[in-house]
Amino acid sequence: MTEPAHDLSRTALRHAGARCAALCLVGTAATAAGLLLPAVLGRTLDLLLAHGPAAGWVGGSAALVLLLALLDAAASVLAGTVDARATAGLRGRLTAHLLALGPRALTRFGAGDLVARLVGNAAQAGTGPAALAALLAAFAGPVGGVIALAVVDPWLAAVFLAGAPVLALLLRAFTRDTSACVAAYQREQGRIADALAEAVDGRRTIAAAGLQDRETARVLRPLPALGRAGHRMWRVQGRAAARAVAVGPLLQLAVVAVAGWLLRRHRISVGDVLAASRYAVLATGVGVLVGRLAALARARASARRLAELTACPAPVHGTRPLPPGPGRLDLRGVAAHPGGRAVLDGVDLTVPGGTVLAVVGRSGTGKSLLAALAGRLADPDAGEVLLDGVPLTALPHDELRRAVTYAFARPALLGTTVADTIAFGLASPSPAEIAAAARKAHADAYIGRLPDGGATRLRDSPRSGGEAQRLGLARAFAHPGRLLILDDALSSLDTVTEHRITESLLAPGPGPTRLIVAHRADTAARAHTVAWLDGGRVRAVGTHARLWRDPEYRAVFAAPAAEEATR
């Protein structure tokens, strides 16, 4: 495994804690009892044949059988708790890492693939500690069986060890082939999950276009490859089991034959022959080892897939506090090349504290990317972004998030109730603050129509795209900060509502610095300043009235205006 995968395995072991050690001890104790049972049975048989006092040995055999049943039950319970705790620990760590990555996580992994890894692969990787403990106990069986054969008679162990290299090669090949098969299977599962998430997200578009059958075929396109990987897994395991069936009985027969020869020469007893036959079965327990190795291989393959997530470095935050300031925003020589494509290059921009800047430009010019860079939802490939003279990378995480507030075109409404989603992220919001934010976003009328007002559960409050945007805006207005960024957060509003909200944003008096990604000329006209993006650079900065004289600037708003006219 790679180092990150080893690290995740250690995380799983750490969360399994003492239970994993207890599972290993219980498994070893069960193996020890299983090794002791043939010797006790053999001694019991010898005493019965000799008409000796065998009652105590019969009772001892029964006690060992009962002990084995109890230890197996305890191992099953412990394995379940170890799996649950290890899986919970892995999911907790991965969730924290993905949230720290933020939107960066989706630049490499699709939403469906992320869910598949966090749910299915984390659960599979969480079985690693229990599988390792079970494997250690399973190895103790063959090792103990060989030692016990040597105790009965060294010739018996020698006969078995002559064929042991064949078993070792069988197990090694099985482990290698199983790891490759499991990795391929999980990769195809991730592809299907990712395509399914895309189809669910675009379900209305698919239904409107009547493309359900085509999308179903697209989602299930990796299914044949998934089937091939699954069949290969079963073939590998079946081939290993078949070889074990071929090799194991031959070794057992050889041990029993030598034991019979030793019995004839009066070197061992009948009970020793019985014990030797049982120890030969334990020593050739390849079937048990194959199952344990398969479980561990699946866990390790899952850990490697999870390690691909943790290998993406989370952004590092500094410790420098923000000085008092009005929220001045500076972008100096900023360049961003997501996916190797130059979207922004050499952007220099200053937004004075407390002012409103509208960012405009044709589709694909990097407006949303600039908005993400301004609040450090993404980091530039070159240059730096500063807030009141402090680079965003030097700020502590909590202070950065308190200083910068976002509203998006498609806000994620989190929380139990409507009031919860407005107050999301606030330590101790008051009802008056929530109500004021709702009024500023013109969401108060919508909330007033709900059965229980702000206490209405989100799932019981149907809403349009514009109403969802107003709740997202209310959440942003409820969070005081130095910089407020609206990334196309007015796009679903009607013209009248947008006009009213824009007036609220431009109300006289102290307020945060506001950066608005604008598509409508009306919004740009109300901003203090407009930054016109073109070709990955800031083509011009000025008032909307001055820039409007340029026909190419006017053409930026032509397409959005045409779309508005068709609504």
> pLDDT tens digit string along 273-288?
888 888 787 777 665 6
* Residue 188 confidence class, pLDDT cut points 50, 70, 90: confident
Which sequence spans correspond to the domains of the chain? 3-310, 329-566
Q: Which two tokens stand for residue 222?
A: 């990796």
d(CA 316, CA 293) in angstroms, rounded, equals 39
With pLDDT > 70 as the criterion, what percentage of the chain qualifies?
Answer: 89
How many other C-beta atoms lie within 10 A of the C-beta of residue 15? Answer: 21
d(CA 299, CA 124) in angstroms, rounded, equals 5
**10-47 pLDDT per residue, tens:** 667 676 777 888 888 888 888 888 888 888 888 888 78
With pLDDT > 90 as the criterion, what percentage of the chain qualifies?
Answer: 23
Place domain 3-310 in its CATH homologous superfamily: ABC transporter type 1, transmembrane domain (1.20.1560.10)
Q: How far apart are the first and last CA of the chain?
A: 55
pLDDT higher than threshold 80 for residue 153: yes
**389-408 pLDDT per residue, tens:** 999 999 999 999 999 999 98
Pairing of strands 382-387, 356-360: unpaired
How many other C-beta atoms lie within 10 A of the C-beta of residue 167? Answer: 21
* Of the listed ranges 229-243, 516-530, 536-550, the one predicted with least confidence: 229-243
pLDDT higher than threshold 80 for residue 116: yes
Per the CB < 8 A criterion, the answer to whether 20 and 82 are in contact is yes
* 293 or 65, which is more confident: 65
pLDDT higher than threshold 90 for residue 224: no
Backbone angles phi, psi at 541, to 5 degrees: -130, 130
* Of the listed ranges 84-93, 102-111, 190-199, 243-252, the one predicted with least confidence: 243-252
**324-363 pLDDT per residue, tens:** 989 999 999 999 988 778 889 889 999 999 999 999 999 8
So what's the pLDDT on residue 279? 79
pLDDT higher than threshold 90 for residue 387: yes
Characterize 225-238 residue by residue with b for buried, 16 or more Cβ atoms within 10 angstroms of its Cβ, and e for exposed.
ebeebbebbeebbe
DSSP helix/strand/coil, 518? coil
How many other C-beta atoms lie within 10 A of the C-beta of residue 550? Answer: 14
Of 372, 396, 398, 397, give the one whose Cα is nearest residue 385.
Answer: 372
Predicted TM-score (pTM) above 0.75? no
Q: For residue 318, what is the enclosing H or E element?
A: none
Name the one residue in this structure whose structure tokens are 């085509």: 214
In sequence order, the β-bridge partners of residue 514 are 356, 484
Of 79, 81, 66, 62, give the one whose Cα is nearest residue 26.
Answer: 79
So what's the pLDDT on residue 4? 60
**How is residue 336 annotated by DSSP?**
E
pLDDT higher than threshold 50 for residue 562: no
So what's the pLDDT on residue 318? 93
So what's the pLDDT on residue 560? 54
Per the CB < 8 A criterion, the answer to whether 44 and 65 are in contact is no
Per the CB < 8 A criterion, the answer to whether 303 and 123 are in contact is no
The residues, any chain, with a CB within 8 Å of residue 507's CB and separated by 6 or more, are none
* Residue 2 confidence class, pLDDT cut points 50, 70, 90: low
So what's the pLDDT on residue 1? 45
pLDDT higher than threshold 50 for residue 566: no
pLDDT higher than threshold 70 for residue 221: yes
pLDDT higher than threshold 60 for residue 483: yes
Of 122, 75, 125, 86, give the one whose Cα is nearest residue 296.
Answer: 125
d(CA 196, CA 113) in angstroms, rounded, equals 10
Q: Which two tokens stand for residue 519?
A: 């598509």
pLDDT higher than threshold 50 for residue 506: yes
pLDDT higher than threshold 60 for residue 3: no
Characterize 442-480 residue by residue with b for buried, 16 or more Cβ atoms within 10 angstroms of its Cβ, and e for exposed.
bbbebbeebeeebebebeebebeebbbbbbbbbbbbbbe
So what's the pLDDT on residue 13? 66
Q: What is the mean pLDDT of residues 189-203?
A: 82
d(CA 494, CA 485) in angstroms, rounded, equals 20
Q: What is the mean pLDDT of residues 315-326?
A: 91
d(CA 207, CA 209) in angstroms, rounded, equals 5
Instruction: State which fold the 329-566 domain adopts.
Output: Rossmann fold (3.40.50)
d(CA 435, CA 498) in angstroms, rounded, equals 19
Of 293, 292, 295, 3, give the one whose Cα is nearest residue 126.
Answer: 295
Q: For residue 265, what is the enclosing H or E element?
A: none
pLDDT higher than threshold 80 for residue 233: no
So what's the pLDDT on residue 214? 86
Q: How many residues does the chain have?
A: 567
Q: What value does the mean pLDDT of the chain take?
A: 83
Cα 168 to its chain centre, rounded Å, is 35
Pairing of strands 329-336, 513-517: unpaired
Pairing of strands 513-517, 483-487: parallel
The residues, any chain, with a CB within 8 Å of residue 54's CB and separated by 6 or more, are 44, 47, 48
User: Residue type for 525, please?
Assistant: A
